[in-house]
Structure 1
Amino acid sequence: MKQSYKYLLGLALASLLMLNSLNAQNFEEVINSSSQDANTYLKNYMNPFAGSLGNGLANGWYNTARPHKTLGFDLTTTVSLAAIPDSEKMFEFIGADYNNIDLVNETTGASLSGEMLPTFAGGEYSGEGVLEVSGSRELAGGVTVNDTQQFGVPDGLGLDEFPGPLAVPVPSVQLGIGIVKKTELVIRFTPEINVDDVSFKQFGFGIKHDVKQWIPGMKLLPFDLSGFFGFNKITSEYYIDQEKGQYAEFTSSATTVQAIISKKLLFFTPYAGLGFNIVNSSFNVLGDYTFDDGTGGEVTVTDPVGIDFDGSGGPRFTIGARLKILWVLSLHADYTFQKYNTTTVGFGINIR
């Protein structure tokens, strides 16, 4: 269990890689482009992280369609990897989406709107463009400036050589327990853990219910069929400067509704699931920050980043199998076809 918590804290730290990357590459300049433009750019840049994490949260809930008998239970640990598609490694810079920022050729000054730029999951920007901020604009601190500034395009993290799928690992530890009427309650819970400047917590619950019992004649058929509903949410915080009240917060939640079918064959159980996910994520940088206003002075910006991510959920289809070992131990693996195709592996103790 200690190792699982350690891994979860690693995930919390990973959620801040984008901020660290932008700190090293013109984070201040992005903020100074105006509050609205900064959030638009950062949303495009960070969207693959939110999508991978959110879709990973929606996985690993089950390895059979058969609910536990009353007071039967399992304790299961899983890791899900929702692969970031190649198409999400870049995003199209559309000048019309911004009020005061444009992508221009560094030499000629010509607009390069429509060019593809790296996201967090991409590599180094190799084009000839720079981001140019111009015109009268109000910064997040309420200060109005009117000037022209140029700064480099933020690179991605350059993980193309990373072995395996490029994904945010999502570990989960959950308890499933049979209650009544062939219904199983599943709980995911991690109490708030604080290590140095990082905190992490998780809560989720799911319900699996046998639907064959309600359909005349179907309970005689040689397979299990259940409906499943699950909700999972994580929150991680990183204190940039605790004395000044500066911190970054990332939250992500996933709701999933599925129909599950499985067939037990001695120690081997193949299973499949069909349904959809709803994924919601947000990233906020909170507190007061002092930046150069571009005119030789300084400006204090309050809560400079507030981003809500959407659009990474949708229909899903899962296929997998569970292998029982020594009667109560089990291994399982499955693959989910969705916008962020997801691989899940797990290990559990099962008492039916």
Structure 2
Amino acid sequence: MKKILLLLCLTTVMVSSAQSNPNDIFAAGINDAEQFLNDYLNPVSEGALYSISNGWYNTADAKPLLGFEISIIGNMTSFKNKEDKQSFILDTADYENLQFVETDGQGNRTTVKPVSTALGEIEGIRVFVEGEVAPGVTTREEFDLPSGLAAEGITFVPSAYLQVSMGLIKGTEVKVRFLPKIETEDVSVGLYGVGIQHELTKHLPADKVLPIAVSAVVGYTHLSGTYDFTNTNVVQGENQKVDTNMDTWAFQAVVSTKLPIINFYGGLGYMTGKSNTDILGTYRVQSGPFQSQTYTDPFSFKTEVSGVTANIGTKLKLGFFRLNVDYTIAEFNNLAVGVNFGFR
């Protein structure tokens, strides 16, 4: 099974269609498809929101007037130990048509079973829908529910972007981050954001001799992306894709040392984010009780997250070259690495 829908288009090289494609679920009818895809896609949206909200600072020491730094930042937001994000319980009593093929060996149909989200690794879950297509004529369609990223050995949600920081008036630094729009045959993705950092210790008389700096940081990030689904024998159509827009805000208090070469920093903050995901295109069911049904731009999903974050990191400064690494503890933990080039 190929990889499926990595964090709704945050990267391009790791995204491809699945042999058990999520759009097969349309064979179960529009209501069942909406319910399943909401539970299936929601955790990957949550992970992506946490991922893109990271990386706003690598020190609390704000740059002086016209001091600048250009950074390449990469995030690895882990879900390795988050079983609750890798699977959900599917109860067929909550669905109109979807049923498990599996029985308990005594002919009793399984009705409740954990299944994979887009982050998970559960494979081979066979389901079916059955119904009359004409008086006295019953048809049945079987297909596999989609698995997720963990089935491919991927246990993190990545993000990457460029970030530019520049010092302005005393103690204030502005930041801009962006990922130029990237388009491939199946994926389109772009990112931008803006932030501001203000060092509180710059206002203290002992600023020049204090061994630490304390700052407040606020950052906003927006990501937009699309991922084209692959047609299958069960559901065909045109322009089948996921279209996602994500927005996050990060509010953080940061403290760091002020040493010439190696420094340490840490922060405590709060993040909030939301995503809007549209399932677009035309979906024509080819077989089963809903054959000949056509759905166009069938539905949208919304995901909202918020929570406290805390991180700790270190930064190495060698002239104009700087390297930083930090780890954030939150609902989704994150490892960030920054390669930085700066002046002053």
TM-score relative to the length of structure 1 = 0.79
Residues 1:286 and 2:271 are matched in the alignment? no
Q: Tell me if structure 2 keeps the 8 A contact 1:48–1:84.
A: no
Match of 1:46 in 2: 41
Candidates 68, 71, 75, aligned match of 1:73: 68
**1:166: Cα distance to partner?**
1.3
Amino acid corresponding to residue 208 of structure 1 in structure 2: Q
C-alpha distance 96-214 of structure 1, shift in aligned 2 (>3 A): farther
* 1:315-335 deviation digits (Å, cap 9, x = unpaired): 11000010001x111000000
Paired with 2:162 and 2:174, the residues of 1 have a C-alpha distance of 14
Please, what is the CA RMSD of the aligned residues? 3.2
Residues 1:206 and 2:195 are matched in the alignment? yes
In structure 2, the residue corresponding to 1:121 is in which secondary structure?
coil
C-alpha distance 34-154 of structure 1, shift in aligned 2 (>3 A): same
Candidates 161, 181, 185, aligned match of 2:170: 181
Match of 1:4 in 2: none
Amino acid corresponding to residue 93 of structure 1 in structure 2: L
Which deviates further from its counterpart, 55-64 or 281-290? 281-290
Match of 1:172 in 2: 161
C-alpha distance 324-274 of structure 1, shift in aligned 2 (>3 A): same
Aligned length: 322
Match of 1:255 in 2: 249
In structure 1, the residue corresponding to 2:316 is in which secondary structure?
strand
Q: Tell me if structure 1 keeps the 8 A contact 2:24–2:143.
A: no
Match of 1:92 in 2: 89
Residues 1:32 and 2:27 are matched in the alignment? yes
**1:307: Cα distance to partner?**
2.2
Equivalent runs, 1:1-352 vs 2, <5 Å = 11-12=11-12, 14=14, 17=16, 20-21=17-18, 24-25=19-20, 27-86=22-81, 87=83, 88-95=85-92, 97-103=94-100, 105-106=102-103, 108-113=107-112, 115-125=113-123, 130-133=126-129, 149=140, 151-157=142-148, 159=150, 162=153, 166-213=155-202, 221-238=210-227, 245-292=239-286, 294-295=288-289, 297-311=291-305, 313-325=306-318, 327-352=319-344
* 1:309-351 deviation digits (Å, cap 9, x = unpaired): 234x4111000010001x1110000000111111011110121
Which deviates further from its counterpart, 181-190 or 210-219? 210-219
**1:91: Cα distance to partner?**
1.5
Paired with 2:74 and 2:150, the residues of 1 have a C-alpha distance of 20
**1:214: Cα distance to partner?**
5.7
In structure 1, the residue corresponding to 2:293 is in which secondary structure?
strand
TM-score relative to the length of structure 2 = 0.81
Match of 2:5 in 1: none
In structure 2, the residue corresponding to 1:65 is in which secondary structure?
coil
**1:90: Cα distance to partner?**
1.8
Identity of aligned residues (%): 27
Amino acid corresponding to residue 11 of structure 1 in structure 2: T
C-alpha distance 147-39 of structure 1, shift in aligned 2 (>3 A): farther
Paired with 1:276 and 1:309, the residues of 2 have a C-alpha distance of 17
C-alpha distance 97-323 of structure 1, shift in aligned 2 (>3 A): farther
In structure 1, the residue corresponding to 2:32 is in which secondary structure?
helix
Unaligned 5+ residue runs, structure 1?
1-8, 137-145
Amino acid corresponding to residue 331 of structure 1 in structure 2: L
C-alpha distance 120-54 of structure 1, shift in aligned 2 (>3 A): same
Paired with 1:197 and 1:152, the residues of 2 have a C-alpha distance of 23
**1:60: Cα distance to partner?**
1.3
In structure 1, the residue corresponding to 2:28 is in which secondary structure?
coil
Q: Tell me if structure 1 keeps the 8 A contact 2:122–2:151.
A: no
Match of 1:6 in 2: none
Paired with 2:63 and 2:145, the residues of 1 have a C-alpha distance of 50
Amino acid corresponding to residue 338 of structure 2 in structure 1: G
Q: Tell me if structure 2 keeps the 8 A contact 1:250–1:283.
A: yes
Paired with 1:296 and 1:85, the residues of 2 have a C-alpha distance of 37
